[in-house]
Amino acid sequence: MDSRHLVDPELVAGLDFLPTMDFASGNLPALRAQLQELYDLQARELPAGEVRQREVLVPGPAGAPDVRVLVYEPANRTGDAPLPAYLQIHGGGYVLGTADMSAGLCAAIVNALHCVVVSVDYRLAPETAFPGNIEDCYAALHWLHAQAGELGVDPARIGVGGESAGGGLAASLALLARDRGEVPVAHQQLIYPMLDDRVPREVHPYTGEFGWTREHSAFGWRSLLGGEPGGEDVSPYAAAARADDLAGLPPAFISVGSLDLFLEDILEYTRRLTRAGVKVELHVYPGAYHGSDVVAAARLSRNHMRDQMAALAAGLGCTRG
């Protein structure tokens, strides 16, 4: 495979910043530290006096530890009107990442939309296999809804979303919330989501060379599922593309690059959502690879952020954005 010539010229520089991930070595701690360093380099400091951050431990799933979340809110809230809220779920192939690496994004969302953002630090695989991660996310969502009054949040305007594995978890969380019927979700924000553990019969010749490869994806799914991916009994709460019924899900914003490994999975999931009567806004960015928004100054990355913010503002009914 050679797709470098298809990469947007402004995004080529990002190829040198992407970490080399050799999951075959079994050295997950070092890879986790490497990814955190990358995000530390890219992260923006919280705007002084504008965004307040605090850490909360919320009740975890039955028999499991409490779930750590980071709550971001406007530092100088005025009036008594409740604000919309967004549950942010970080990426990392189900095996990497922390809630902290979304700090810059969470602060940007709070500033742009004047809302509350809760970033969830779910347990990672392979130390915790499915359903630990999705149940942690559901516990955070349930807490956010139950504590809406204390948080100054409108319980009817809560959205969920994330990037990569976080986007996959957000899609599965929307399914789980629909099926349990306890927490209404107003919007789902799926940024190049990791949706399907199955290997397609026909492999796309120009996706998956950069950022996140087929080998990476297989390791992530294997770690999450505790066995080989592609089996017959994988839950849709682990891989949202496995859901038979997508009706009744909240409106979705979905984005992906044309060189992203997940391109065709995402196109198929979008098609199925529309056929189930779900409102979907889909963006495919030409020449973008998985995680290429690490080049934040590139035109495509700026357009992607603009589109994300506009869709989130509309989905949550924000007065700003």
Element (H, E) at 301: helix 299-316
Total domains, the chain: 1
Report the predicted TM-score, pTM, of the whole model to 2 decimal places: 0.95
- The C-alpha torsion from 194 through 114 and 285 to 160, rounded to 10°, is 20
Q: Does residue 283 have an active-site annotation?
A: no
pLDDT at 73: 95
Mean per-residue pLDDT for 32-54? Answer: 71
Which residues lie below 8 Å from residue 314, measured CB to CB, with a gap of 6+? none
Domain assignment present for 321: no
Among 100, 154, 197, 260, the one annotated catalytic: 260
**Is residue 13 situated within a structural domain?**
yes
Give the model's pLDDT for residue 37: 73
Active-site option among 164, 172, 255, 258: 164
Here the CATH number for the domain that contains residue 199 is: 3.40.50.1820
321, 312 contact by CB (below 8 A):
yes
Q: Is 172 a catalytic residue?
A: no
Which tens digits make up the pLDDT trace of 132-161?
A: 999 999 999 999 999 999 999 999 999 999
Residue 16 pLDDT more than 80? yes
Residue 114: how many CB atoms within 10 A of its CB? 18
| Secondary structure element (H or E) that encloses residue 316, with its range | helix 299-316
How confident is the model over 163-189, as pLDDT tens digits? 999 999 999 999 999 999 999 999 999
Per-residue tokens: 104: 């810059």
In a domain, 249, yes or no: yes
Catalytic, out of 187, 216, 290, 304: 290
- State residue 16 phi and psi, 5-degree precision: -80, -15
Average pLDDT of the chain to the nearest whole number: 93
The encoded tokens of residue 237 equal 């709460």
124 close to 92: Cβ distance less than 8 angstroms: yes
174: domain range?
Answer: 4-316
**pLDDT value at residue 31:** 84
Which of helix, strand or coil describes residue 114?
A: coil
Residue 64 contacts residue 148 (beta carbons within 8 Å): no
Q: Specify if 116 maps to a domain.
A: yes
Provide mean pLDDT across the span 228-241: 96
- Distance between CA 166 and CA 304 in Å, rounded? 17
Alpha-carbon distance 306 to 257, whole Å?
A: 15
DSSP H or E run through 222: helix 214-225
**Residue 164 is among the residues annotated as catalytic for this protein:** yes
Q: Which helix H or strand E contains 53, and what residues bound it?
A: strand 51-58
pLDDT of residue 49: 63
pLDDT at residue number 93 = 95
Is 264 part of any domain?
Answer: yes
Residue 72 lies in a domain: yes
Residue 95, phi-psi category: left (phi > 0), alpha (psi -120 to 50), beta (remainder): alpha
Confidence at 303, pLDDT banded by 50, 70, 90: very high
* Confidence (pLDDT) at 200: 85
| Residue with the larger pLDDT of the pair 28 and 266 | 266
**63 belongs to a structural domain:** yes
Q: What percent of the chain has pLDDT over 90?
A: 84
